[in-house]
């Protein structure tokens, strides 16, 4: 800091004092005060610049924050929030079937149509079978799953009021034989040929390690949305970090194998474990992942939720899917995604 900076700190109070000493009258000082206030407000309104990654074989340069529209739009539309995200550089929007997310697809439709050529639109459908992770599916089960998924895609297109999505996932997959199913792949290829979808993906928050390896082995998938935290895999069934998981830093080889297979990696549930009480899953745990952080991240001006997003983005993910319920919530998520690289060597 220079001698001038130490003598004349750039606070609004000091500036107004200097103006008064220079002999400016009340009107001039009042005008200066308004100008300074407006300048400070503009500075406060400046968002960080979003960063981007190529999302696997899609070739799309996607924002590192994916706007998770499922829970956010279940009951009502939020076009103003969606437009704010888009205006600041979010260009990937993820939603899901009305069987699970109620009216979310319908509530996304008007925004998606307006911005269709400038965003990457993802939805996902269930296969409609009760499947355990270790089940080996029969031929009839695979055919039923493929038929149900195709019907879910058709309904999603109706609800989104479009004839095409950029990617459509198999939703909540925990079974390797389903991921490798030729019948499922044929259903995707038929939908792609019909112009309904360009890319295939899988979302998983149980048995994720095996599901991701299987997806990479097939070479058929462009995207995978995985439940992962700084402490390792997240298990949605248990509402907790998976008991036998290695921490995320040790999962990097599996993530790299998937990326080498052309799969773009999008994280979800990165911070869910910390918000236990609010979600009815036990006590709040704001420091649950602190042991995995370095000093720079711990000392960063971030909330516990922001730290978890920044960490997973810096340790193998291309983007993180975050639900934003309000403008403040959106800005918090946005800042974490846009600045994550700043907190690691």
Look at residue 98 and tell me whether its pLDDT is greater than 50: yes
Look at residue 171 and tell me whether its pLDDT is greater than 70: yes
Domain edges within the chain: 3-44, 48-343
CA nearest 262: which of 313, 212, 188? Answer: 212
Tell me how many degrees the CA angle 201-149-279 measures, rounded to the nearest 5.
70
The rounded mean pLDDT for the chain is 90
The per-residue pLDDT for range 141-166, each reduced to its tens digit, is 999 999 999 999 999 999 999 999 99
pLDDT of residue 14: 41
CA nearest 77: which of 114, 50, 47, 45? Answer: 114
pLDDT of residue 20: 47
Q: Among 98-102, 237-241, 243-247, 313-317, where is mean pLDDT lowest? A: 237-241
Percentage of the chain exceeding pLDDT 70: 86
For residues 266 and 226, the answer to whether their CB atoms sit within 8 Å is: yes
Which CATH architecture fits 48-343?
Alpha-Beta Barrel (3.20)
Distance CA 343, CA 334 (A): 15
User: Which residues, other chains included, contact 54 with Cβ-Cβ below 8 Å and sequence gap of 6+?
Assistant: 60, 61, 62, 264, 318
**pLDDT band, very low/low/confident/very high, at 25 (cuts 50, 70, 90):** low
Look at residue 304 and tell me whether its pLDDT is greater than 60: yes
DSSP assignments along 18-74, one per residue: HHHHTT--HHHHHHHHHHHHHHHHHHHHPPPPP-EEE-GGG--EEESEEEEHHHHTS
Q: Among 3-17, 41-55, 211-225, 265-279, where is mean pLDDT lowest? A: 3-17
- Cβ burial, residue 49 (10 Å; 0-12/13-18/19+): exposed
pLDDT of residue 27: 61
pTM over 0.85: yes
Q: Hunting for tokens 């970090």 — which residue is that?
A: 241
Please report the sign of the dihedral spanned by the C-alpha atoms of residue 165, residue 166, residue 168, residue 172: negative
């Amino acid at each position: 800091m220079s001698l001038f900076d130490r003598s004349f700190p750039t606070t609004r109070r000091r500036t107004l004092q200097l103006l008064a000493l220079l002999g400016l009258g009340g009107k001039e000082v009042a005008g200066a005060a308004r100008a300074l206030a407006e300048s400070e407000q503009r500075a406060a309104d400046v968002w960080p610049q979003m960063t981007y990654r190529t999302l696997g074989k899609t070739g799309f340069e996607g924002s590192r924050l994916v706007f998770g529209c499922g829970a956010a739009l279940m009951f009502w539309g939020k076009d103003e929030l969606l437009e704010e995200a888009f205006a600041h550089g979010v260009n990937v929007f993820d939603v899901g079937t009305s069987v699970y997310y109620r009216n979310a697809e319908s509530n996304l439709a008007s925004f998606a149509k307006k911005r269709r050529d400038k965003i990457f639109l993802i939805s996902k459908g269930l296969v409609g079978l009760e499947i355990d992770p270790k089940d080996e599916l029969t031929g009839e089960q695979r055919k039923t799953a493929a038929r149900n998924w195709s019907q879910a895609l058709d309904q999603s297109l109706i609800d989104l009021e479009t004839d095409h999505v950029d990617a459509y996932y198999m939703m909540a997959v925990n079974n390797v034989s389903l991921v490798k199913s030729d019948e499922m792949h044929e259903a995707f290829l038929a939908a792609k040929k019909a112009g309904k979808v360009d890319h295939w993906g899988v979302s998983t928050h149980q048995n994720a390690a095996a599901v991701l390896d299987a997806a990479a082995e097939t070479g058929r998938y462009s995207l995978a949305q995985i439940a992962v935290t700084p402490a390792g895999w997240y298990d949605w069934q248990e509402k907790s970090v998976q008991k036998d998981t290695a921490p995320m830093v040790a999962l990097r080889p599996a993530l790299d194998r998937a990326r080498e297979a052309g799969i773009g990696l999008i994280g979800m549930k990165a911070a869910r474990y910390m918000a236990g009480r609010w979600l009815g899953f036990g006590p709040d745990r704001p420091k649950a992942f602190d042991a995995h952080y370095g000093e720079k991240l711990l000392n960063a001006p971030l909330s516990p939720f922001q730290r978890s997003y920044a960490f997973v983005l810096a340790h193998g993910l291309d983007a993180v899917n975050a639900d934003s319920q309000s403008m403040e919530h959106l800005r918090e998520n946005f800042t974490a995604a846009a600045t994550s690289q700043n907190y690691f060597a």
